[in-house]
A and B are shown apart, each in its own frame.
Chain A
Amino acid sequence: MNTILLQNLVNPNVNLPIVLPEMIVALTGVIVMLYDSFVPRQRSVTGAISLIGLAISAFFLVSMWNDAPQTGWNGMIASDGLRLSFTIVFLLVSAVTILISSVWADNEDVPIGEYHALLLFATFGMMFMASGNDLVIIFLGLETLSIATYVMAGLRRGDLKSNESAMKYFILGSFASAFLLYGMALIYGATGSTNITEIALKVANPNFPALLLVGGAMMIVGFGFKVATVPFHVWTPDVYEGAPTPVTAFMAVGSKSAAFASFLRVFVLGFPLIAGVQASEFLHESWVTALSVMAILTMTVGNIAAILQDNVKRMLAYSSIAHAGYAMVGFIGAGMAKNMQQRDAAIAAVAFYMLTYAVTNLGAFAIVTLLGQKNDRRTAFEDYNGIGFRAPALAFTLSLFMLSLLGLPLTAGFMGKVMVFRPALEANNLLLTVMVIAAAVNTAISAYYYLRLIVVMFFRERTTDWLAPRIPTALTAALLITVLGVLYFGIFSDGVIEKFSKSSVGTVFKAGTRP
């Protein structure tokens, strides 16, 4: 064992092309930071550099799309369907966040260069969370992401709420990271490896130690926090409300998707069900049951709490909890898949769900940013009273996003829901079927608060004066991208789903076929 390790150290199996997209993003971050230190506060320049960097990265990522699934760096990095589909979502999220942030940067005195650099570093972290095929890489990615977002949440230095948000996120986030790390350590102790492919092989060992089970539970806590599932969700509303709205958008969409990517890789690919091995059956059943219960709780608590909110940002925060629950339906479906093909389809479904959620939610947050004005003062439901016909374009766009979050046909949200419900029903398992029914009932509950925003905008009259804000160019671009995304993924999702599923060939481990 040791000799192998040493050999690897000497010859680290360098495979640069495989991490090229990540490297480009990191490099862009460095360039932005350097540029900013010489010519500070150049919003358009740093923004443009960042967007170009993200575009180049996306270009290389897409060019890898047709390659066969592969691993590099001694199996630490995997380039497969999961990585590609999730990474493209991250790049999109990052780019749209930069566009949204321009309004905020105009309104307030933000150290914009630093912000762009942090955003890129966070994206870099997220990308490694998707491509990391090793617990250590995943942890490094997660910490890179977390530290950058801690700072971003507190960027509004003069504002108490923003400070509270950053502090809360930092303390609770570190706590969760500790759990995750502890879990990883225990799993290393149990299997002797941090490589997910190898862990999956060790799980097949009929007499695995109970340590693996404890480690898995610890990791559920850690990932559960990042994904914001009940009961590890309590930080979400405060942090989301206090953070500047573009940062909230980024956290709600980006961090969540990234956490889902690693969560999926560790559990679905790392702890699979292997036919005939009692131990793996036990482990598999444990995590599937635990996550199913969590998913049901997450959806229900998220939706019911969202109904009670009077602040749009808090409402969207709780709705993001509920959406984590819906995504978990597909996740568990992936865990219960009967063969490789079904598993890949289910992973693609979760990635597609995050894509639809990303375009919808980013669009909603873009409008919330615009209407929120300086320091996000105007984010209560009352502030949206009767603006429907004063700013019809904005209001109808926001309504479209709400209907997509609700999951109404012809919008992206609907296709996302159909995609994640599919694998769960496919499993033909009572618990999973109950979970899907719970998701359906929850969707109906969620109609109440999504419609509420439409109700206040269109059905109520405004008593106070209100001037429709001018929409800056960058925000127009962001809205255009998101609206087109919502409609495109809702109506012509065929191609995207195909791309996501096609490439999602499990490199890593052949899941045993169930009898």
Chain B
Amino acid sequence: MDFIAENLLTILILLPVIGAVSIIGHQMFWKQESHLKWVTLFWTAVNFLLSLFLILDKSAASANGFFFEKNVPWIQAINTNYHIGVDGLSLWLVVLTTFIMPIAVLSTWHAVEKRSNAFYVFLLLLESAMIGVFCSLDLLVFYLFFEASLVPMFFLIGIWGGENRIYAAVKFFIYTALGSLLMLVAIIGLYYIHADQTGTGTFDFVTLLNSLKTGTMVFSHQTGLLLFLAFALAFSIKVPLFPFHTWLPDAHTEAPTAGSVILAAVLLKMGTYGLMRFNFTLFPEASRELAWIFIILSIIGIIYGALVAMVQPDIKRLVAYSSVAHMGFVMLGMFSFTEMGMQGALYQMLNHGISTGALFLLVGFIYERRHTRAITEYGGLASVMPIYATIFVFTTMSSIGLPFLNGFVGEFLTMIGMWNSTAVSYPRLATMFAGTGVIFAAVYLLWMVQRVFFGKVTNPKNKTLKDLSWREIGLIAPLLFLMVYMGVYPAPFLDRSRESIVAIEERLTKQAGGTIEHAESVPKAVIQTAKPAAH
């Protein structure tokens, strides 16, 4: 037990890999493809249960402010360490990952017929890489997992995707790789700046951050901007921020259902997580200086994503564009640089994972039945599939942000955060523009619901559709439960992340005046004005 507690994160990362090996072994000796989904479900479920220890654990954080921290030398020649740990920011994202995986596996129960062995292997490898991204505290290790997550997804889209899968897969890969390679250059650049000024180069995030905080490592204004941009580009492509979003609709639409769910629920979060974890803390000055660009782009993303979603003839594409809009909200909340806004952004990340993940699952259900995603093919489904319709409408409400459902809490917090932001100019104008996005979201989602579910059944093929099976209800039920739970009682989630978010906020605002004297007086005032409104 002690061993597990001590190495929990490593186990979470490695268990899926062991699972993948077990599948290859199983395939070699038994050749029973029908067993594989059970094997995969077993490993992902075990991983989820183990990850619950992360939440239940009440032990104190390490000196660096992380839980379950582990620091083992990896390549000493370049001083890179296998340094992992979680804090309030990454904790929920790790749990979200392990939570969504069994659901994704269940969703493929009948969908993946061909080459299911390879499918499950890639799915498990993907899980391992995703957990690695959220846990790594060494920049090189982070980059490693960040890139490693590309390959399984590339295969998932390319082999089991829709008609246009090759284009989508290659586009997805190259877009993301371009961004992350520039980040690699920036990471190595940081290594040398640290080596130059302190004598030892390091990729260790915590060490770099401490050197920056204590002033033993400083970089010029211009260098800071360039490094910030190199990191931000990689993450903005991943989020995706307008105008880097074009890979997303293709990838989402062509990916198999499990792929879309994981893409929406977890992969996109790597971008926003990376910005918050690395950009905000390593380059606070540059973050403040360039925040306006990101705010404008996220507002464009919110409105543009919503408008484009409105005219999509394909349900899955519509949901994909809604992701662009939703992630715009997350970005907006982050760049408010207030505790509330960032809390809201983190919360919205989880919400988006749950609601949009659920939407993709639901689209997948109907696709399995009719093999089309065109809105015009449907109509009046509510009378044929009442349970499905109910769940779909419920999920839509969560996505729109109906009060007492999860989406509301996140959107409300981000917007209040932005409204009260003192760190950026014209915060209220930005909030107002973003607010229109909420209305648009209602428009495109409800319009789609109306066209698909209400009215008369016009297409004879739809008359005999079966309603959801128990498996399908069972796999979406946890998501529905969370939508309500997180909408009614967000405190446990927010409490857990508060400390980390406040630390990031302090780091951002401490540089407010640009000088050390300012740092003593300004941030406290900012925090105090922000606090009462928070809860």
Contact = CB atoms under 8 A, between A and B. Distances in A.
A460 to B, nearest CB: 8
A409 B129 CA distance: 11
B63 interface: no
A494 B77 contact: yes
B181 A497 contact: no
Contacts of A493: 75, 77
B173 A409 contact: no
Contacts of B154: 451, 454
B147 A422 contact: no
A443 B176 CA distance: 12
B181 A443 contact: yes
Nearest to B190: A425
Interface string B124-147: 000000000000000010011101
Contact of A440 (B118, B147, B181, B195): B181
B228 interface: no
B74 interface: yes
B244 to A, nearest CB: 13
A498 B76 contact: yes
A12 B231 CA distance: 59
A428 B196 contact: yes
A494 B75 contact: yes
Interface string B142-172: 0111011011001100110000011001100
B115 interface: yes
A451 B153 CA distance: 13
Summarize B's interface: helix, strand, loop or mixed: helix
A425 B174 contact: no
A498 B182 contact: no
Interface string A220-256: 0000000000000000000000000000000000000
Contacts of A494: 74-77
Contacts of A459: 158-159, 165-166, 169
A328 interface: no
B473 interface: no
A115 interface: no
B177 A447 contact: yes
Contact of B147 (A392, A408, A419, A428): A408
A34 interface: no
A440 B184 contact: yes
Contacts of B169: 455, 459
Nearest to A426: B192
Contact of A389 (B115, B145, B166): B115
A471 interface: no
Nearest to A459: B158
Interface string B325-363: 000000000000000000000000000000000000000
B503 interface: no
A403 interface: yes
A403 B189 CA distance: 24
Summarize A's interface: helix, strand, loop or mixed: helix
Nearest to A427: B192
B188 interface: yes
Contacts of B144: 409-410, 414
A458 B155 contact: yes
A498 B77 contact: yes
A238 to B, nearest CB: 28
A409 B182 CA distance: 14
A81 to B, nearest CB: 14
A460 B165 CA distance: 10
A172 interface: no
A408 B188 contact: no
A422 B192 CA distance: 8
Given A409-B147, A425-B188, A451-B154, A443 B166 contact: no
A455 B191 CA distance: 36
Contacts of A440: 181-182, 184-185
Q: Closest 5 A-B residue pairs measured CB to CB?
A: A409-B144, A444-B178, A497-B77, A440-B181, A459-B158
Interface of B: 74-78, 115, 118, 140, 143-145, 147-148, 150-151, 154-155, 158-159, 165-166, 169-170, 173-174, 177-178, 181-182, 184-185, 188-189, 191-192, 195-196
29 contacts: A389-B115, A392-B118, A403-B151, A408-B148, A414-B147, A418-B184, A418-B188, A421-B185, A421-B188, A422-B191, A425-B185, A426-B195, A440-B181, A440-B184, A440-B185, A441-B181, A443-B181, A444-B181, A448-B174, A451-B173, A451-B174, A454-B154, A455-B158, A458-B159, A459-B158, A494-B74, A494-B75, A497-B75, A497-B78
